[in-house]
Structure 1
């Protein structure tokens, strides 16, 4: 078992997860782990008081599927949305990138980063899918369950399913995202004439609340503010790491 440490203002808490949830031996074990994680996802609200909402993203060198990833968590204060200092981490992940198994590449670095923060965020907005995944275990679901933090998936492209019905043109318009007869999220228009994003439950957040939170953090751009801040922080970490390599004699 792997122990995850949660630090907050009241001290430290720990919970354990199976080794395969972070470091599966092979894709067969990874698939079984994803199904177990999906079963552990809580689809209803269990959020608690929210003082910080954090965006989560990673960056990597273009087409470098085996090299390091650069993870970032970018919190904002709530209410108000004032940006707080982001945290970042560069790590070589345990497995290369495999489509559909992104969580195993990125979640180990993100959990390490969250464990190192003086106070973990109360809610995560993850650049990626929650349950809108073929095995209902996108990175937002994977991270939310492993870290035991409420999480929302905010993805820029579809991984599974299709939009049903007409998606209106105005900010806040939604249309169901359906996969094999099950609604797994929504397409959400964040600004007029922009492509939608795809919002889904990650963990401990209902779909209705996920939509509400994403719109609360909508400042007129395609992605909600915390996700954009995390994107910028992850790219900055990647550039810094690449600059350090170039400076080595």
Structure 2
């Protein structure tokens, strides 16, 4: 994939916040997004240690699957060091540089990117999925394992697969808690770019026929951990 990042990576927290505020209006949360995608990619990043410091070893993985069969079509990894510290609301700047490098190695261009993280459900309404979508121009959504802390669940979430409840901050809708398997904890879906919430949730559910997490996330998580282990010897 050919990807050009249209900005310099920020050097500090103030620059990072200013960049998110500047790019926020470029994210399209209306969509409608790809209704029948052929290729869907999952993206994830593994870290060595949990200190959140600059210089931490990181490995990014992207796995492209056939949307119909869920069989892997292509995969790529990139290994590097975090150039930004862990700061709440600015986590994307630890992951985006290495994720972009992994995506650049793909020969195919996915119709949809699913990130292990947040999109609209973010302090400045511009999480990792939004930023990645704006950079690549590809429809993108966030599928997080935990909810955005400031959001509350509006309404009852049933226990059956496919049940959902909207997530809001105040009266503002931010995403959805989606039950992908009967009786298991939900995942938390929010739009990133060029897709609406209904479409994003429909694809996430289709990608999770057996487990809580969509196959794209499961495969990318495993691949990123393997790539990090290999890099560390």
Matches within 5 A, 1:56-135: 56-66=43-53, 67-135=56-124
**1:31-70 CA distance string (max 9 Å, x none):** 1111222211011225456321011000001214231211
Residues 46 and 112 of structure 1: CA distance in aligned 2, closer, same or farther (over 3 Å) = farther
Task: Give SS of 1:176's match.
Answer: strand
Does the CA contact (< 8 Å) of 1:38 and 1:131 recur in 2? no
Runs of 4+ in structure 1 off by over 6 angstroms are none
CA distance in 1, matches of 2:92, 2:226: 21
More displaced stretch, 116-125 vs 198-207: 116-125
CA distance in 1, matches of 2:49, 2:168: 31
The partner residue of 2:20 within 22, 34, 37 is: 34
Match of 2:182 in 1: 192
Instruction: Name the Cα RMSD after superposition.
Output: 1.6
Structure 2 unaligned segments of length 5 or more: list them: none
The partner residue of 1:202 within 182, 192, 196 is: 192
More displaced stretch, 83-92 vs 161-170: 83-92
1:233 matched to 2:229: no
Does the CA contact (< 8 Å) of 1:46 and 1:150 recur in 2? no
In the superposition, the TM-score normalised over structure 1's length comes to 0.87
Structure 1 unaligned segments of length 5 or more: list them: 1-5, 8-13, 244-249
The count of residues paired between Structure 1 and Structure 2 equals 229
Deviation of residue 15 (structure 1)?
A: 5.2
Does the CA contact (< 8 Å) of 2:112 and 2:138 recur in 1? yes
CA distance in 1, matches of 2:51, 2:5: 31
**1:84-130 CA distance string (max 9 Å, x none):** 24211101122122221111110111112212211222211111011
1:166 matched to 2:156: yes
CA distance in 2, matches of 1:99, 1:180: 20
Match of 1:216 in 2: 206
Does the CA contact (< 8 Å) of 2:174 and 2:190 recur in 1? yes
CA distance in 2, matches of 1:147, 1:110: 11
**1:206-229 CA distance string (max 9 Å, x none):** 011011111111122111111110
Match of 2:31 in 1: 45
Deviation of residue 16 (structure 1)?
A: 5.5
In the superposition, the TM-score normalised over structure 2's length comes to 0.93
